[in-house]
Structure 1
Amino acid sequence: MKKHLASRIVTLSVCFLAAGLATGCASWRDTGAGKLVSKLDVPDGVPWKSKKPRSGTPRRMVVTWTDTVKQQAGVDAERGFGGRIFFYDASESEPIAVEGQLVVYAFDESDRLPTDNQPDKRYVFPPEQLALHEGDSELGVSYSVWLPWDKVSGKQTDVSLIARFESLHGGALVMSEQNRVRLPGQLTAPDKVQVAGHTSASEAASGSAVQYAGYTTTVEYEQPADGKQAPAAGMESTTIKLPARGKDR
């Protein structure tokens, strides 16, 4: 009899404890902390986990450039341009991820004639390669690229950069504003200054080839031999009108 009574007491105690816990949990869920936790879908709901960026077809791009130097063991140091690119759609709310080809045109401003609209170098990032340059930033998804120019022993050079993007999903071509960047270097004597686009006979005879930028540390580019060379097979020829020297945007 005593054993049966003790068993009943234990059973009732467990029931009361379970009811109390249920009531307590319900009360705790009504608190601010409880409501916050209820909104979390672990692990996807972890607040510090980065969300997948929104993708779309851009209508505008914003590009920032800076002069940089790349150094590698056993290889001569190169100077060039480091760029960060943000794409925006019609909503303009935040940067978006994109799919398409990026081309950056570089114009050497060393005595460039106002009528000279041909780029000195062209850097091509095909869609599959551009995707590898995608990264996150404080402002949102962005694309970081490196454009080599020449060895660090080169002369001081002012270069204008214009980026063009063509989406795989249609839409209009997106062009960036012209950005002018100065590469520090040796000052050239006035009698040694050459007009941009001029090449020696040997350079003209050697020709040039279009090479594609990759995810490797070396980004390759096209360098026209005379400023009017026809593009290689498979490449699109684009002429960009630039403002006169000294009238940078």
Structure 2
Amino acid sequence: MEIRHTTNPTDFKAYQTERLRSEFLMESLFVQGEINLVYSHYDRVVTGGAIPTTGSLKLEDPDTLKTEYFLERREVGIINIGAEGTVLVDGEAYTLNKRDCLYVGLGNKEVLFESNNAADPAKFYIVSTPAHKQYPTKKAPIEEAEPTRLGSDSESNKRTIYKYIHGDGIQSCQLMMGMTLLEPNNMWNTMPAHTHDRRMEVYLYFDMEPESRVFHFMGQPNETRHIVVQNEQAVLSPPWSIHSGVGTSNYTFIWAMGGENYTFTDMDTVKMEDLK
């Protein structure tokens, strides 16, 4: 498992392009036949991708976590962004179509990922946070997720937000997770921007054409930088950072949060005139 350490926002001001990318961008989560995980010291969040092909892939890394099994002190949210696949949780099978979500709680000892067709594999996106209370494993197909429609064509941000793991949906200890789909000809997300100093966030951008790019903006409101992101790449967003983006075309992204608060209303909004 790759380990990423936290960054002081004062030091962040001096980062050049390659340092920004090495600290915050996860470029190669999805590799056929592999499971890849990144451990961040921001709220101890683990981000990963798994593409099982001819066999199953197991969620594990005892050398990094120093626990008997992965979810001994953790919970995990899983969203499939590929073809149909199956997640086995202590022997119980959950089939996930594209954009379906599965929450697996504290204490489950074995999590395996499988594709239903090796030639057209599933792509499981994984976000895990520490947990101190057990909640039941639960699947949420996208058809059952809570949709919120926001934005407009005139603002180039007409979008639908699907909430999966949250206070009024799948219950968890601290993990929150959902997905935002931008309509065709709409490119902006989360602008005007905000911060939430009590929890970090991870963005995964996907459903992009190979030549498309998203310019992901981050940093303190008066010291913003950008990272150029390709399809199926993810960005770590520190609690002190804004998180916003604009693409060369429409795209979809998964947001996941972990930290102290368990609410959508604790954000600190940033006025457009305060962005620099």
TM-score normalised according to structure 1 size:
0.31
When Rg is computed on C-alpha atoms for both structures, the one with the higher figure is 1
TM-score normalised according to structure 2 size:
0.29
Q: Which has the higher strand share?
A: 2
Give the number of the structure with larger relative contact order, counting CA–CA contacts within 8 Å between residues 6 or more apart. Answer: 1
